[in-house]
Amino acid sequence: MNHSLSTRFAARLDSLSASIVFYAVFLIAFAWVGRYFGVAQSFSTTDILSFALLCAPYWFFGFGLERFLIRVLDGTWRRLGAGAALMIPWLVFTLPRNAFDLRMFAGLLAVILAICGVLELGRGRRAPHWCDWAALALLAFAVELPYFRNAWHAPGLSGASKLLFVDAGLLGYLVIRPIGGIGFDLRPRGVDFGVGLREFCFYTPIALALGFGLGFLHWRAAGFPVARFAASWIFTLFFVALPEEIFFRGLLLNFLERQWGARAALVGSALLFGLAHFPKRAAFNWRYVILAAIAGVFYGRAWLARRRVLTSGVTHATVDAVWSVWFR
């Protein structure tokens, strides 16, 4: 018995140690990305600390942090307190700059507590429940609201508020109301890249034919800038692809599949994904909506194939990085 317990403890310690080491690598990688795009030079020590604290829940949930938190946060007030604690990175960013804004603080905190609170009401209930649709609506509203994009008002950190809401969503659905089946695991497997790149290859000829045919895509003579593609892919994976895949595949497609079945849910989630891109570059960019909706089908196929957000994230990040480097 003691040997079994010590073995499990050693395994968990090794897993924790590995996640910390990989997190250090993750931060170093983003320091390189920031320097490559010319924004990291302006970061202060507290900016870097704020970014590290902001990314920590996002990262460690990908290594099983929820198993520990479910045991520790064994009461409603503790779980809501954990939600409120997600505001610490914003305070670390604003207080040293004398940039504390009470309205911004109240707004961010209200959204986080509303998400946590509504999911607290759904604890123990079968998913999807009305509380799930309410939480998804709150997340979508918060991410799309322009006001919150200025929460981290520094070059290179304008999208940091999205990560704050990702942290809130993961806390909500992995700890407060663990629904299962999201597939958020940052420990990479070969199949993540095999399936993810396969779906990228399936989507690419369709995207090129439609994109050029509709006048949406235009070739950019860029050669083969390896460093630029690598920096774009890393940035896109963690700041764009995975947050969107958590929402549209890990949660939305997951819920719709339970009600409609896999095929209808795949189409429905892809259409909503396309419509979410309507305001890009125009009041209503129907070309972008069409291409994004079709892309959503292939991202959904990748997620359904392995039930892993990282798998669809590979497809998504590769599509966006190729587009940003070689097309406009």
Q: Where are the beta strands (DSSP E) in the chain?
A: none
Q: What is the pLDDT of residues 197-223, one digit of tens each?
A: 999 999 999 999 999 999 998 888 677
pTM of the model as a whole: 0.92
In this predicted structure, the answer to whether residue 189 has a pLDDT above a threshold of 80 is: yes
Residue 176 CA, distance from chain mean position: 18
Task: List the beta bridge partners of residue 13.
Answer: none
Give the number of C-alpha atoms closer than 13 A to the C-alpha of residue 277, restricted to the C-beta side: 20
Burial class (CB in 10 A: 0-12, 13-18, 19+), 267: middle
Buried b (16+ CB within 10 A) or exposed e, 51-86: bbbbbbbbbbbbbbbbeebeeebeeeeebbebbeeb
Q: What is the pLDDT of residues 50-79, one digit of tens each?
A: 999 999 999 999 999 999 999 999 999 999
Q: Within 10 A of 133 (CB to CB), how many other CB atoms are there?
A: 13
- Predicted confidence band at 159 (pLDDT cuts at 50, 70, 90)? confident
Is the dihedral angle over the CA atoms 143, 25, 197, 327 positive or is it negative? positive
pLDDT on residue 283: 66
Tell me the three state secondary structure of residue 128: coil
Nearest Cα to Cα of residue 41 among 159, 152, 153, 155: 155
Kindly state the tokens that stand for 238: 């963690």
pLDDT on residue 112: 98
pLDDT on residue 13: 45
Q: What is the pLDDT of residues 130-150, one digit of tens each?
A: 999 999 999 999 999 999 999
Tell me the three state secondary structure of residue 327: strand
Average pLDDT of span 223-244? 92
Asked if 74 contacts 175 with a C-beta cutoff of 8 angstroms, the reply is: no
Percent with pLDDT over 70 in the chain: 93
Nearest Cα to Cα of residue 303 among 214, 183, 124: 183
Asked if 73 contacts 175 with a C-beta cutoff of 8 angstroms, the reply is: yes
In this predicted structure, the answer to whether residue 39 has a pLDDT above a threshold of 80 is: no
In this predicted structure, the answer to whether residue 10 has a pLDDT above a threshold of 60 is: no
Average pLDDT of span 288-317? 97
Choose the weakest-confidence range: 48-62, 70-84, 148-162, 299-313: 148-162
Tell me the three state secondary structure of residue 156: coil
Q: Where are the beta strands (DSSP E) in 84-177?
A: none
Task: List the beta bridge partners of residue 219.
Answer: 327
Nearest Cα to Cα of residue 293 among 315, 312, 274, 280: 274
In this predicted structure, the answer to whether residue 42 has a pLDDT above a threshold of 80 is: no
Average pLDDT of span 98-115? 97
